[in-house]
Amino acid sequence: MHRGLAAAALLVSSLAATAQTTPSGVWNNKQCAVVLTYDDAIDADLDRVVPALDSLKLRGTFYLIGSAPAVVKRLHEWRRAALRGHELGNHALFHPCDGSLPGRSFVTPDNDLSKYTVNRAVAEIRATNTLLQAIDGKTRRTFAYPCGDRQIGGVNFYDQLKNDFVAARGVTGGLQAAAQVDLTNVDCYSINGQDGKYMLDLVQQAQQSHTLLVFLFHGVGGGHSLNVDLAAHRQLLHYLKAHEREIYVAPMVEVADKIRAYQQGLAEHP
């Protein structure tokens, strides 16, 4: 057999095996789970994304930077979004990224994670949790690593925060069965300029393999240097709505709770 065909056959076999590892009950008795996440707390979230989701009765997760102007100035709107079922996730107080890594010229000295101590990072993230609780009254939520950075001086700072969150989202792309998901670094697909077909293809792959698919958005129709076209985003939302009987769309905290319960069950009854 040609090596390319052999690799394709192996992938199909792998997907079939993956499909068998996630009972439909984990995905709310549907084929797969899709989580829509939006980072950085920008005005576009409240001006365009929340109304679009609400119009279709879909719910998403918004990872808020505690110090972001759109948080400070629009607290009541975030509170209303939370009341309608959207998750307000934690994206740290100042969005610190590791400025020592390549391509990080945008990182300012004040917000350089490589200059932080682990204790400072943990304290700022917990302060953001306090702020978010004051907005939505909730104590259970998820975290998203700014820039996907997880370490300070070789130490995983999230190790001290595992009891503070249900899960943490990373930035590495991947579709995973419930048993495979690492709740300390959940895979996702970052969207920046890809069209609607690309996103629908991902959803259909998740449906076929019965896996978790997490989208990571920044700007929607503008508002951020990382952006998805408004029409492409709308195309994705309408597909999810049209297939709501087959696709479980929910905030990260809700999906992560189901995955955690399933994984604990596997550990207790291997």
Residue 138: pLDDT band (50, 70, 90) is very high
pLDDT surpasses 60 at 1: no
pLDDT surpasses 70 at 16: no
In a domain, 5, yes or no: no
The SS3 call for residue 32 is strand
Q: By residue range, what is the domain housing residue 32?
A: 25-268
- Looking at residue 15, its pLDDT comes to 44
Query: For the chain, how many structural domains are there in total?
Result: 1
- Looking at residue 29, its pLDDT comes to 95
In a domain, 187, yes or no: yes
Q: What is the pTM of this model?
A: 0.91
Task: Label the pairing between strands 61-64 and 32-39.
Answer: parallel
Mean pLDDT throughout 120-143?
A: 98
In a domain, 11, yes or no: no
pLDDT tens string 195-232: 999 999 999 999 999 999 999 999 999 999 999 999 99
- Looking at residue 4, its pLDDT comes to 47
Query: Helix %, strand %, coil % for the chain, to 5?
Result: 45, 15, 35
Domain at 229, CATH number:
3.20.20.370
The SS3 call for residue 181 is coil
Which residue, among 193, 171, 207, has the nearest Cα to 37 in the 3D structure? 171
In a domain, 220, yes or no: yes
pLDDT surpasses 90 at 13: no
pLDDT tens string 70-105: 999 999 999 999 999 999 999 999 999 999 999 999
- Looking at residue 21, its pLDDT comes to 61
Degrees to nearest 5, angle at CA 36 with 58 and 59: 25
pLDDT tens string 27-52: 999 999 999 999 999 999 999 999 99
For the chain, the C-alpha Rg in angstroms (whole number) is 19
* Dihedral in degrees, nearest 10, Cα atoms 127, 132, 248, 170: -30
pLDDT surpasses 90 at 5: no
In a domain, 20, yes or no: no
Show the tokens assigned to 56: 């279709």
- Looking at residue 24, its pLDDT comes to 76
pLDDT tens string 159-173: 999 999 999 999 999
Q: How far apart (Å, rounded) are the C-alpha atoms in residues 166 and 108?
A: 30
Mean pLDDT throughout 108-116?
A: 97
pLDDT tens string 55-64: 999 999 999 9
Which residue, among 185, 214, 187, has the nearest Cα to 199 in the 3D structure? 214
In a domain, 42, yes or no: yes
Mean pLDDT throughout 136-160?
A: 98
- Looking at residue 268, its pLDDT comes to 86
In a domain, 8, yes or no: no
pLDDT surpasses 70 at 143: yes
Give me the chain's average pLDDT, please.
93
What percentage of residues in the chain have a pLDDT greater than 90? Answer: 89
241 within 8 A of 194, measured Cβ to Cβ? no
First-to-last alpha carbon distance for the chain, in angstroms, is 36
In a domain, 52, yes or no: yes
